Amino acid sequence: MLKHSNIDAVLKALAEPTRREILERLTQGPAGVSQLAEPFNMSLAAVVQHLQVLEECGLIKTEKIGRVRTCRIEPGGLGGLAQWIADRRIPAERRLDRLGDLLIEMDPEN
């Protein structure tokens, strides 16, 4: 599970459309840097920079074997954000349930 302080880094990483597309590509399987750069028509340097942001916040892992850097999704990397959202959805949804109950109670036809 990611630390709460990481939520900021994960959200900032995901707020960039190219980084979301890279992540999306990696959910299909590991890929090399040049493979990732291809569909984006971007320089390798720009892709490497995006990969660094994704790796620093724990969403992906990269590993250099010889001259090739392979990137893969970090399983559970989105877990912290999923939990953060779940924690914030529950109180609001709960309050809505209570409002629903109240409206049912107040319904004169009930």
Longest CA pairwise span in the chain (Å): 75
- Which residues are 69's β-sheet partners? 64
- Window contacting its own copies (CB under 8 A); options: 24-32, 36-44, 46-54, 63-71: 24-32
SS3 32: strand
What residue type is 81 in one-letter code? L
Residue 63 touches its own copies, criterion: CB under 8 A: no
Q: Which one among 34, 88, 102, 103 touches its own copies, defined by CB under 8 A?
A: 88
Q: Which one among 34, 89, 101, 102 touches its own copies, defined by CB under 8 A?
A: 89
Residue 78 touches its own copies, criterion: CB under 8 A: yes
Residue 28 touches its own copies, criterion: CB under 8 A: yes
The alpha carbon dihedral of 23, 25, 26, 32 has a sign of negative
Q: Which one among 93, 105, 107, 109 touches its own copies, defined by CB under 8 A?
A: 93
The alpha carbon dihedral of 87, 93, 91, 11 has a sign of positive
Cβ burial 96-106 (10 Å sphere, 16+ → b, else e): eeeeeeeeeee
Enumerate binding residues for its own copies (CB under 8 A): 7-8, 11-12, 14-15, 17, 20, 23-24, 27-29, 73, 75-76, 78-79, 81-82, 85-86, 88-89, 91-93, 95-96
